Amino acid sequence: MLKVKKHGIILRPTKIEFESKCVFNPGIYQDGNNVHVVYRALDENFMSRFGYARLDGPTKVVERWKKPFAVPKYTYEKKGIEDPRITKIGDTFYVSYVAHDGKNAVIAYMYGKNLFDLKRGGIISPLMSYRKASKLFQFSKIKDDYYFFSSFYEKYAGKNVLIWEKDGVFFPEKIRGKFALLHRVLPDIQISRVDTLNLYKDKNFWHNQIHHLGKHVVLEGRHGWEARHIGAGAPPIKTKAGWLMIYHGVEPRNNGRIYSAGAALLDLRDPKKVIGRLPYPLFEPKEKYETEGFVNDVVFPTGTARFKDELYIYYGTSDTYIAVASVNFDSLLKELLDNKEE
């Protein structure tokens, strides 16, 4: 069993209006000893914006903005921007995030050469209703859970609700010449690859993806702690052994859900091939700050940084705080290789 050390909370809500309710689910970019933290901030009216902080080393906060890093700008995000993930591909930053208009959750992105001067790139998930998607699901080898979530969100948000897309995470380099994006059509993690990000705005592209959705699945929930659904967490890390992916899994309970962190190793050339995977949670909500908060029993990993032999994993906890855990990098890889995917 791996030894994971929890370092506790590094960022809490403040008295500043835009982040007075909760701060959680941070995007991370490491530049040497500097760790840039772009996080989801919630105000008392439940509007989500992004805040910013900088760490010196893995845990020491040396800078924190008193104003938002980014705010909702367009109609598709008028009710909030959520859960940023930061990836740098070449010399360009890509910040993928969830955009919410009060009814639909979609994946969008920002981009730019400078992390502090980003432009909106628009929506990069399917603008397709669950009603239409359900008709396409029948052509693909997928489990009944896909239909369950279709019915669930139609009841929750209305008959014309779009596919509920979250957890969009870019790989940090092109794979065989194409951008690669992990995303989550409930309940699994899928991958899509495109020559140009503009292709994500093509309805025909997404029609084909949903029509053959089963062929694009990277991971399914296999164990009890990830039985309800799973989703990508931090941007994958390239290693000699494969792409190291930190993700989250959700266990359903009658009195709520339990969110835990997981880890898997994907093939470098074909990330749909899973090399190894932990059969148990990398870590799970145990501390009081993880089990009690705005949403109880949540650890939600969204970014990483590496210092010496340790991988630091940054995560939202109980949808209220930002915390850090660490694990020996080589030990994690060895454990994944010792748990080959069947």
Please report the pLDDT score of residue 321 as a whole number.
99
| Chain mean position to CA 95 | 11
pLDDT attached to residue 1 = 79
Q: With the CA atoms of 277, 281, 282 and 286 taken in that order, what torsion angle do they form, in degrees rounded to the nearest 10?
A: 180
C-alpha to C-alpha distances, 195 to 41, 198, 243, 250, nearest whole angstrom: 33, 9, 20, 32
- Rounded percentage of the chain residues whose pLDDT exceeds 70: 100
Q: How confident is the model at residue 10 (pLDDT cuts 50, 70, 90)?
A: very high
Asked whether the beta carbons of 128 and 163 are under 8 A apart, the reply is yes
Q: Is the pLDDT of residue 342 over 80?
A: no
* Distance from chain centroid for Cα 103: 20
Distance CA 116, CA 120 (A): 13
Q: How many CB atoms lie within 10 A of CB 329?
A: 19
> Mean pLDDT over residues 120-136, rounded?
97
Q: What is the pTM of this model?
A: 0.97
Please tell me the predicted confidence (pLDDT) of residue 144: 96
* Chain segment 95-120, per-residue pLDDT in tens: 999 999 999 999 999 999 999 999 99
Residue-wise pLDDT tens digits, 136-194: 999 999 999 999 999 999 998 898 999 999 999 999 999 999 999 999 999 999 999 99
Rounded to the nearest 5 degrees, what angle is found at the Cα of 192, between the Cα atoms of 74 and 220?
105
| Domains detected in the chain | 87-337 (2.115.10.20)
* Residue 170 to residue 95: CA distance in whole angstroms: 9
Strand partners, 283: 261
**54 vs 50: CA distance, rounded Å:** 14
- pLDDT, one tens digit per residue, over 269-320 is 999 999 999 999 999 999 999 999 999 999 999 999 999 999 999 999 999 9
What integer pLDDT is reported at residue 341 of this predicted model? 82
pLDDT of residue 3: 96
Residue range 65-105, pLDDT digits in tens: 999 999 999 999 999 999 999 999 999 999 999 999 999 99
